[in-house]
Amino acid sequence: MTAAADSPGIVIVLFGATGDLARRKLLPGMFHLSQAGLMPERYRIIGTSRGELGDAGFRALAREAVDEFGREPAAGDAWERFADSLSLVGIGDGFEGLRGAVARAREELGGDARVLHYLSLPPSAAAAVVEQLGDGGLVDGAAIIMEKPFGTDLASSRELNAAVLSFFDETRVFRIDHYLGREAVQNLLALRFANGMFEPVWNRDHIDHVQIDVPETLSLEMRGEFYDRTGAFRDMVVTHLFQVLGFVAMEPPTSLDPATLMAERAKVFASMPPLEPDALVRGQFEGYRDIDGVAPDSDTDTFVALRAFVDNWRWAGVPFYLRTGKRLAEGRRLLTLAFTKPPRRMFPLDCRYVAESFGFDHLTVDLGDPGSISASFLAKVPGPALELGEAEMSFSYADAFSGPEQALDAYERLIHDVIVGDRTLFTTSHGIERLWEVSAPVLESPWPVYGYPPESWGPEPQHDLIAPRRWHLPGHRV
């Protein structure tokens, strides 16, 4: 990990500093970066609030957040240094006070100090804040981090991008997707391009289909109003699952520099045909409409399963099946590549085994933290008869590597990347708009939602979508 200690000072302006994301992830994450020596030597964090919390109140809030969600308690010299960097500015009456606070912080840190605006805000509020930053003279030389979703359709994404790019150059806009900050997602690059055994079979000649599966057990308490305007497809597929698909399907880059990697992912998105409405199944868990903030007649999807394609030489004809939802039976983050069957079946197979097995061989990447990779294949069962059984080879990230003090969670990794100017794991405005173009048919003509019981695996029509194949989770059998 590249340290940022020798870089110029930085002033981080945190919008939404008293919100849930800041409390759970951002403030504990920045504290850990400071502990690990991955923040610049000189830094200030200026929170903003509509209320009158004040510096002392903000520091108390940050301490509670670190104690509850951080890796270590807020104590000692490390905490004192971090707390000294914190201040809060009220913006209820405009950005004049914020402009003064930023100017004072830059003066304290030195004339070369940079400014980073982190918009931990709902997308509906982002454009107005960007405009106020521009009118308040707070954008010159500054960078900006924006939270997903980046619009809710093609028109709104174009409108948001136009508003942001009217004040910030594209190279200074970081659209953050915490899924791409996971070590296991980045390990896809190493798995494919650092090993001679995988890349030669990573194509339509050897892979039958690909699954990206992110079921969640979480419900939506306290987020009903936001979620009812968004839904599972907008919240998860466009911003998370399609981005993982980009890493899976990209061509080998000529180098690992950020611009090259971003360009290869963009080519994947450009190769995706628009989704077909009948290739998407929408679901809604029973009881969703009783949640505060949800319309009593809402048809918002809390579950989606879909089939997508990448229409290029490598992947033509290979279906990519994506699935995600709330209140499902188990929380997982999995990528599975199912390999094609041998052209000729020479070994006798037990019919019951064939009916229960997901496939003869497949590679599964667990994208959770810390992550793992397993290969499932058929092997001879010991004994006098020629019988086959399912075998597995596994790699565990936690068991294979030491040094947990240097491990960063997704938000920490991405914030550090912004500080050092590494754009590898971020998406351009063109890439975002292209994904909304691909999604337009299913957004303009959505099919009805199917109900499903909480703690189930979602509505039954999802199985028709993938048939004659079937959805797969390691350890599960029909």
Confidence of residue 84 (pLDDT cuts 50, 70, 90): very high
- Looking at per-residue pLDDT, the higher value among 383 and 364 belongs to 364
Confidence of residue 385 (pLDDT cuts 50, 70, 90): confident
Give the pLDDT of residue 455.
Answer: 94
Percent of the chain residues past pLDDT 90, beyond the cut: 59
Written as one string, the DSSP assignment of 149-214 is P--SSHHHHHHHHHHHHTTS-GGGEEEE-GGGGSHHHHHHHHHHHS-TTTGGG-STTTEEEEEEEE
* Of 84-88, 109-113, 326-330, 448-452, minimum mean pLDDT range: 109-113
Give the pLDDT of residue 321.
Answer: 97
Domain segments of the chain as ranges? 10-147, 180-466
* Averaged confidence pLDDT in the chain: 88
Which residues, 6+ apart, have CB-to-CB distance to 377 below 8 Å?
360, 361, 390, 391, 392, 393
Give the pLDDT of residue 358.
Answer: 47
Instruction: Give the helix, strand, coil percentages of the chain, each rounded to 5.
Output: 40, 20, 40
Give the residue numbers annotated as catalytic, written as ranges.
240
- pLDDT digit string, tens, across residues 49-83: 887 788 999 999 999 999 999 888 888 899 999 99
Give the pLDDT of residue 352.
Answer: 44
Taking the model in full, what pTM does it have? 0.89
Confidence of residue 369 (pLDDT cuts 50, 70, 90): confident
Give the pLDDT of residue 178.
Answer: 83
Confidence of residue 103 (pLDDT cuts 50, 70, 90): very high
Confidence of residue 308 (pLDDT cuts 50, 70, 90): very high
Give the pLDDT of residue 401.
Answer: 76
Cβ-contact 191, 198 below 8 angstroms: yes
Strand order in the sheet with 207-215: 388-396, 372-380, 362-366, 334-339, 207-215, 320-325, 303-308, 280-285, 449-452
Which uninterrupted H or E stretch holds 364? strand 362-366
Q: Residue 42 above 80 pLDDT?
A: yes
Superfamily name and number for 10-147: NAD(P)-binding Rossmann-like Domain (3.40.50.720)
Give the pLDDT of residue 247.
Answer: 92
Domain 180-466 has what CATH class?
Answer: alpha beta
Give the pLDDT of residue 123.
Answer: 74
Cβ-contact 362, 376 below 8 angstroms: yes
Q: Residue 354 above 60 pLDDT?
A: no
Give the pLDDT of residue 242.
Answer: 95
Phi-psi category of 242—alpha, beta or left, where left has phi over 0 and alpha has psi -120 to 50?
alpha
Confidence of residue 355 (pLDDT cuts 50, 70, 90): very low
Helical segments of 7-140, H only:
20-21, 27-35, 54-69, 76-84, 96-109, 123-135
Cβ-contact 182, 410 below 8 angstroms: yes
- pLDDT digit string, tens, across residues 134-187: 999 999 989 999 988 888 899 999 999 999 999 999 999 999 888 888 877 888
Which residues, 6+ apart, have CB-to-CB distance to 436 below 8 Å?
151, 153, 154, 157, 238
Confidence of residue 466 (pLDDT cuts 50, 70, 90): very high
